[in-house]
Amino acid sequence: MTKYFEHIERSEVHYELYWKNNGREFKETVFASTIASKREILSLADKGLSCNDSNSKHLIEFLDLFIATNDIPKIRMVNRLGKTNKEFINPLAKNDIHVLPSDIGEEQLYQAIKKNGTTEDWIKSVFNLVRNHPKAVFPIIASFASVVLHEFNMKPIVVDISGSSSSGKSGFLRMCASVWGEPESYIGTFNTTLVAIERRSAFLNSFPQILDDSNGVHDVKMIQPLIYQYVNNTGKQRGSINGSQFTDSWNSLMITSGENEIVAYVNAQGVSARVLLISNFSLPGESSELLADIYSSIREYYGTIGIEFLKRWSAKREHYLNLYAEVDNQYKQY
């Protein structure tokens, strides 16, 4: 038993187990309950632990004694990104909190949060390609804004980019994703389920939820509850054997794309008030080579600009909070 993980948001404890079997090394992080129950500990047999009906009882006793007699390193952990209690979890920033994704899908998303190149590279080779096109700049700014939405006590917002095929919408979604990580791995699609989007939103938490191609949704009836679920920033409440399961939440922006406006798939007027539409998306005056340059650049430069943004936000947080209050008052007057 190599590590003791203490969840900073919930009353949960995990342990990291390490063992060798036939010359192979194994490492697995499990709930404390897993090593306290015969039924649960037997599940580790599928992961390479020599555990069976005959020795499971003795293995549980051994691990219990090990915990009692050894000083196991204690590490704070969380199973999602972004704002948690008084901490902001950014995988690319140095901190003493370990991120432990709950499943393989979240692990894949976690691995997408990485960096390549420099801040200057991203500005010069990515952002500067579109800086003179407001319809392109707005969703990129939204990607930055997502991680500070909680600072203003604002509800989640959906930013939707729509336009004809081959207008560059997917490329710009990847540009938005390049703020925080490797674009191809970060972006999701509408070919999914409400539960999957809920899990993904909860894991990203403060980081933007980016979904490409609303035309590819398997059932258009899903889009309306998807938007309501997202902007209400909480998952579906579910029961359990002992009561209610933990309900996930998030506070971020969703950025979507499609040939049609996303509100075209809904029949509730309240949805439109929760979506900012960027319609008839195009880049007037630009050659077709620009899209090729965008795809080439975002494959090389990503993640570093997000780190720099959070550093500058932290340094001038109070100034921007006060500035927002002034702008908000001016907006209400008009």
Domains of the chain (ranges, CATH numbers): 3-78 (no CATH), 82-333 (3.40.50)
* Residue 245 pLDDT class (50, 70, 90 cuts): low
> Are 117 and 331 in contact, with CB atoms under 8 Å apart?
no
CA separation for the pair 33, 169 (Å, rounded): 47
> Are 232 and 136 in contact, with CB atoms under 8 Å apart?
no
The 3-state DSSP class for residue 46 equals helix
Alpha carbon dihedral 211, 216, 222, 227, in 10-degree steps, equals 30
pTM, 2 dp: 0.88
Instruction: Give the DSSP H or E segment for 123.
Output: helix 119-125
Q: Write out pLDDT tens, residues 151-179.
A: 998 889 999 999 887 778 888 999 999 99
**CB-based burial label for 322 (10 Å; 0-12, 13-18, 19+):** exposed
* Residue 238 pLDDT class (50, 70, 90 cuts): low
Specify the pairing of strand 3-7 against strand 82-84. unpaired
Closest listed residue to residue 21, CA positions, set 57, 55, 45, 42: 45
Q: Write out pLDDT tens, residues 210-225.
A: 999 998 888 888 999 8
- Who contacts 62 (Cβ-Cβ below 8 Å, separation ≥6)? none
> Are 190 and 217 in contact, with CB atoms under 8 Å apart?
yes
Average pLDDT, the chain: 90
Q: Write out pLDDT tens, residues 93-133.
A: 877 899 999 888 899 999 999 999 999 999 999 999 999 99
Q: Write out pLDDT tens, residues 2-36.
A: 999 999 988 899 999 999 988 899 999 999 999 99
* Residue 241 pLDDT class (50, 70, 90 cuts): low
CA separation for the pair 248, 229 (Å, rounded): 11
Calculate what percentage of the chain has a pLDDT beyond 90: 67
> Are 300 and 184 in contact, with CB atoms under 8 Å apart?
no
